[in-house]
């Protein structure tokens, strides 16, 4: 269990923002007035205002809709949701903490390309945590409830169904040769900076960027990247958007 918990550190989210049920989707005024947020310029509203025409909203393919499901404090995956095409990532030459780690086959090519590009740039990336089932998340959450009590557990662990890792398209990445904390020191490492600047080129976005905790409910996690495909990742990166905000925007527009 101890090893499991180390791998699950990124769902141990101290919900500093638990001053209420925090939604990713904040109305305009809330974003502008959020104290301590680096997003107070309200990049989301600027984007939406500039893309209000229907033609500006990208239509999503069936596979994109599957990849872009919103998973946050307010949106959960079903208990029986399991990705259809899980594979062991080390079989594809992707460095991982152990051989049992799995992700969806549909993202492997871009993940491998990202790792290869990082290596050429001098960074040996490693997957520290990958797919996690609803059951695994449930065990972790219950462990914290038993250890800390319900209230404190909710401040430090995602409830089952609310972790992006259940999608099978989300990775916690660190650097093989990183000295110090594999997670918290990654963001300021050269490899972490490379990831922050380049992951979007391969379809990955940082779900919980620095300064967004009051909006996402999660603290800054420079190691946690979710695959959304290159087109969507580019839009999020270039417009400095919080991923869950943009995914909600796309989901809403594509319902029409």
- Return the number of the residue (37 or 174) whose C-beta is nearest Zn ion: 174
The sign of the CA dihedral 16, 21, 163, 189 is negative
d(CA 233, CA 141): 30
- Return the number of the residue (60 or 221) whose C-beta is nearest Zn ion: 221
- Residues 92/108, Cβ–Cβ less than 8 Å: yes
Nearest-approach distance from CB 172 to Zn ion, in angstroms:
4
List the structure tokens of 126.
Answer: 């490693």
- Return the number of the residue (10 or 114) whose C-beta is nearest Zn ion: 10
Q: List C-alpha distances in Å: 151 to 10, 11, 14, 17, 155.
A: 19, 16, 11, 14, 7
Nearest-approach distance from CB 150 to Zn ion, in angstroms:
23
Determine the 3-state secondary structure of 86 from DSSP. Answer: strand
Nearest-approach distance from CB 64 to Zn ion, in angstroms:
22
Nearest-approach distance from CB 224 to Zn ion, in angstroms:
4
Q: Which residues contact 23 (CB under 8 A, 6 or more apart)?
A: 72, 73, 74
Question: For residue 164, which of 76, 101, 235 has the smallest C-alpha distance?
Answer: 76
Q: List C-alpha distances in Å: 13 to 18, 64, 141, 226.
A: 11, 27, 11, 17
- Return the number of the residue (202 or 223) whose C-beta is nearest Zn ion: 223
- Return the number of the residue (154 or 172) whose C-beta is nearest Zn ion: 172
Nearest-approach distance from CB 183 to Zn ion, in angstroms:
9
- Residues 140/107, Cβ–Cβ less than 8 Å: no
Please give the residue whose beta carbon sits closest to Zn ion in the complex: 10
Q: Which residues contact 70 (CB under 8 A, 6 or more apart)?
A: 24, 244, 247, 248, 251
The footprint of Zn ion (CB under 5 A) covers: 10, 172, 224
Nearest-approach distance from CB 82 to Zn ion, in angstroms:
18
- Return the number of the residue (42 or 83) whose C-beta is nearest Zn ion: 83
């Amino acid at each position: 269990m101890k090893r499991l918990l180390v791998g699950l550190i990124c769902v141990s989210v101290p919900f500093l923002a638990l001053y209420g049920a925090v939604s990713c989707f904040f109305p305009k005024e809330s974003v502008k007035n959020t104290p301590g947020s680096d997003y107070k310029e309200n990049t989301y509203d600027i984007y939406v205002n500039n893309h209000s025409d229907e033609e500006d909203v990208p239509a999503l393919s069936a596979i994109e809709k599957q990849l872009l499901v919103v998973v946050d404090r307010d949106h959960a995956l079903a208990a029986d949701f399991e990705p259809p095409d899980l594979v062991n990532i080390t079989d594809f030459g992707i460095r991982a903490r152990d051989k049992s780690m799995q992700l969806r086959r549909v993202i492997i090519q871009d993940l491998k390309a990202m790792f290869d590009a990082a290596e050429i740039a001098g960074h040996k990336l490693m997957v520290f945590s990958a797919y996690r089932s609803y059951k695994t998340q449930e065990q972790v959450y219950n462990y914290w409830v038993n250890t800390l009590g319900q209230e404190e557990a909710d401040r430090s662990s995602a409830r089952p169904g609310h972790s992006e890792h259940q999608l099978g398209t989300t990775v916690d990445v660190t650097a093989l040769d990183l000295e110090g904390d594999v997670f918290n020191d990654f963001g300021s490492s050269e490899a972490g900076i490379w990831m922050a600047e380049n992951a979007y080129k391969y379809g990955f976005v940082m779900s919980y960027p620095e300064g967004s905790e009051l909006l996402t409910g999660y603290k800054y996690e420079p190691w946690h990247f979710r695959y959304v495909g290159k087109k969507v990742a580019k839009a999020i990166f270039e417009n400095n958007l919080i991923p869950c905000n943009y995914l909600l925007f796309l989901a809403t527009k594509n319902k029409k």
